[in-house]
Structures are given as structure tokens and as C-alpha cells.
Amino acid sequence: MAEDSQRTSDDKELSKENETVVQRILELNLSEPTELPPAIKTLKLELDSFFEARDVAKTQIESFEEYNDVMEIKVKKAASVFEELENAALEQNKELYWQLRGKLFAGCDCKKFTEEGIRSLAIAVKLNPSSVWSWNLLGQCYYTLNNIEMAIKCFTNALQVAPDLKSLINLSIAIRRQPNRTPQNIQDSLTYAQEAIRLNSHSHTAWMVLGTAHLTSFFGPQRSNVVTLKKALKAYELANHLAPGDFEVCCNLSVTLRYIGKYEEALKTLKSCTTTVLIDQAKILEEYNKLKDWLLNLSRLVVKRGKLRTSKLANFAKIAGESSKKLEPQTADSSDGNVKQFNHGVVIFSVPSTGPFPLAVGLLGADSLIQVVTIFNVVIGKAFKVGTVLSYPQESTVNPLQMEIDDQPVDFNNIPIFNPSDLLLNGKKISPTSLSYSCVHLV
């Protein structure tokens, strides 16, 4: 019994020592400790070499397919080293072996190896259920495979061990990505992001995730007001201040600026991205060109007045004036039942909605002036017929847009509409089948 007691005590000390090594190597990213067992040390060096090669490849390869092919070769080479040293490494430190192996397959950017990452990390958390690092990485593997339920369980387990920035960030992201998300899911996502900020207000990732949580709330099934959109913008701006030029921050900040009608700032934000990853550079350029072409197309349609004849435009202006007299104020979809006053115009062109861009219509008023109404949260591909009388609330924001793109002027007034159920088409509410409250195009 005395020997058993002594062995238990020794095992506890060994476990405590191993946990310290794991924390130093995996969580704090300190340099290699000299006391690391030889097989484990070789694997750690192999892993460091692999990730260094991965980061170099990202700056040299433009094609995503080519990058995947290159990484598959590299991960198989590294995996062969793990296989060769498995027995020796398991004798020296079981937990650290499975963690290192899990990190290889989880971080190799090859989705086909993610299951191997799950297998390794599942063993690691069984050996040490108190490893925040292992639970988080296991959750990220499940998230990669779109198993959101298991990902949330893993991130929750990590958070139950100890308050941790990465766990809070991961939970905020995963919870709002649940299928059929509820208002409570959105609120939980906000709460975890706010807790992450309280834990580390200097984390640009935490601020970015908070921005996305606010944006998700704004476009969620329970309609938020424009204050929520401004909170998202503020969070993204703080993230950009902490990490100027960061790829994800620039993309998401640009999207938010676009939503509030600050298109020139949105373009400048994309241009400010300093990523050295070639695939990300291509993505930034693609987003920049899409926004530029969309704005120039709208500007041309305004200048050409929808390419309609003068006589037809005059008739549409007359219809817009008559609509102001004929259409009675309508009660909006709101709990207070307030009666809303509307402005009226006739659609002279319509650019269908896509994933990144809202439905945009040119609206001719009784004064023959044209304004561009951008309508969010409608189904992809939705457009309004030319000649339709469109009525929008008088309190809607009007954003004057005056800028130059490639020496071409862009000059028109933009009216963003975030809740299309506030609109009237020929005096009637928009059909619910035309609405979609999940169009948040973020990285």
C-alpha cells in the first residue's frame, strides 16, 4: 500500500510537470525548454519547421488549389516523422505527443486531415480534461467540419476550466453560426464577445468578433436600430486601430462602411490591407473591384437616367406626383403602431441583389430627381420592375455620395433601407417571401 501511495504521488507530480511543459510550449509559445524529452523535442522542431514552411508558402502561392496540393505533401512528410517517433514519444509524454500531432493536422489548412486532428486531440483531452489549449483546438477542428454543436461543447469545456480569451472568442463565433439561430443565440454571441474584451481590451480579434456579433444582431430576426450598426462600426474601427491592415479586419470594416453608405471609406479600407498572403491579396483585390464596378454601374445608370426615353421619364415623374396624393399613410410593422409618412417615386432601373451587395433601385421623384435606394435583407437575385411605385419612410437617411473612381465621377444620393418590410410597392407591403434576414457577407 505504501508503494501504491508513493506511486500515486509520483504520478501526480509527473502529471503536474507535464502540464507545465505543455503550457510553456503550446499555450505561451515560449522557446524550447532544454529539459524536453528527445523524441518530443524532435517532433516539436518538426512542427515548428512545418508551420514556418506553411507561412512561407502563403506568401508565394496565388492559387488556393495549388496551395492545398503543396500543403498536402508537406503535412504527409511531417506526419511520417510523427509515425516514426510515436512509440518513443508516447513513452516520454503521451499528452504532449497527441497535442503536437493534433496541432499538425488541425493547423495544416487541409480539411481532409481534420478528422485525424480530432482523433489526436480527443485522446489529448481524455488524458488531461483540464487543458484549455486542447479543448479549443479540438473545437476548432469540429468547427472546420461544420459540426457547430460539438465545437460549442468543446469551447464551453475550455471555458469551464478557466477564463480564456480564445475560448470566449471561439464561443462567440460558433454560437452565431448555429443553423436556425435564435435571438438568444445572437445575445449569447454578444455576451461572450464582450467578456473577451473585458479580459483583454488590446486584442484586435476580440474587437473584430464583437463587431461581427453586433452586425449579426442588426441583421437578425429581431430588428435592431441603427445604433447597433454604429456599435459594429466602432468595434471594427478599434480592431483596425490595434491591427492596421489586418486582412479580416479590413474586409469586415469595409463591409460595415458599405452598409452605412460610406463607400469611399470602404474602398480606402480595402486598399489599406497589408497582408502578405497572396490568396488574401487576391481576395482583397476582388472585393475592391466588385465594389468599384458596382458603384460605377449605379453612377452610369443615374447619369443615363435608366436609359429611358424622355417621354417615359416625364410620365413616371407625373405618376410619382400623383402617388403622393393618392396613397394614404400606412401603419408600419411596429409594436407601437405609429403611422409612418412616406416619400414616393417610380423605379427607373433595378440592379438585383447579390451576396455582397443589396438590391439597388433608381427612384425618380415628382421633381424628376433620381435617388438610389439600396435595399438590404431581400432574397438573392431580387429586383423590382421598372415603372413600379416605391414608397419609403420619410425619416429614412439620405447619404450624399460624391467621389471619383478611376477618374470617373460618382455622384448620387443613396437611401439605405435595412428593413424592406417598411417599404410599399404600388401601395402594398413587400411579400414575406421576398425577405431574407441572414445576408451578412463577412470574412
User: Domain containing 409 — which CATH number?
Assistant: 2.40.50.550
- Residue 277 inside a domain? The answer is no
d(CA 219, CA 443): 16
Q: Which residue has the higher pLDDT, 24 or 346?
A: 346
279 within domain boundaries = no
Give the Cα separation of 305 and 272 in Å (integer): 34
Read off the pLDDT of residues 184-199 as tens digits, 9 standing for 90 and up.
999 999 999 999 999 9
- Angle between the 132-144 and 114-127 helix axes, to the nearest 10 degrees? 150
* Cβ atoms of 248 and 231 closer than 8 Å: no
At 234, list the grid cell: 466602432
Which of these three, 132, 162, 192, is where a domain ends? 162
Note whether residue 176 is domain-resident.
no
Residues 91-105 have pLDDT tens digits of 999 999 999 999 999
Q: Give the end of a domain, one of 138, 162, 186.
A: 162
Q: Which domain holds residue 110?
A: 12-162
Burial of 113 (0-12, 13-18, 19+ CB in 10 A): buried
Average pLDDT over residues 14-30: 41
Q: Does 207 map to a domain? A: no
The answer to whether residue 217 is domain-embedded is no
Residue with cell 455622384: 411
| Residue 144 within any structural domain of the chain | yes
Can you list the pairs that 130-134 forms with residues at least 24 positions away whose Cβ atoms lie under 8 Å?
A: 130/19, 130/161, 131/19, 131/22, 131/95, 131/99, 131/161, 132/27, 132/158, 132/161, 132/162, 132/164, 132/166, 132/167, 133/22, 133/23, 133/26, 133/27, 133/99, 134/99, 134/102
* Upper half-sphere CA count for residue 103 (Cβ side, 13 Å): 21
pLDDT in tens, 215-271: 888 877 655 567 888 999 999 999 999 999 999 999 999 999 998 889 999 999 999
Point out the least confidently predicted range of 27-36, 72-81, 339-348: 27-36
pTM (2 d.p.) = 0.84
For residue 393, the tally of other CB atoms under 10 A from its CB is 17
pLDDT digits (tens, 9 = 90+) for 400-433: 999 999 999 999 999 999 888 889 999 888 877 7
Residue predicted with more confidence, 163 or 438: 163
Q: Which of 119, 137, 162 is the last residue of a domain?
A: 162
Q: Yes or no: say if 298 and 360 are a contact pair by the CB < 8 Å rule.
A: yes
**Which long-range contacts (C-beta less than 8 Å, at least 24 apart) are formed by 367-370?**
367/317, 368/313, 368/314, 368/317, 370/302, 370/305, 370/306, 370/412
CATH label of the domain that carries residue 98: 1.25.40.10
C-alpha pair distances (Å), 376 with each of 150, 267, 364: 32, 19, 20
Is residue 334's pLDDT more than 50?
A: no
Res. 5 pLDDT band, cuts 50 70 90: very low
Instruction: Please tell me the total count of domains within the chain.
Output: 2
198 falls within a domain: no
Mean pLDDT for 26-43 is 67
What is the model's pLDDT at position 337?
A: 56
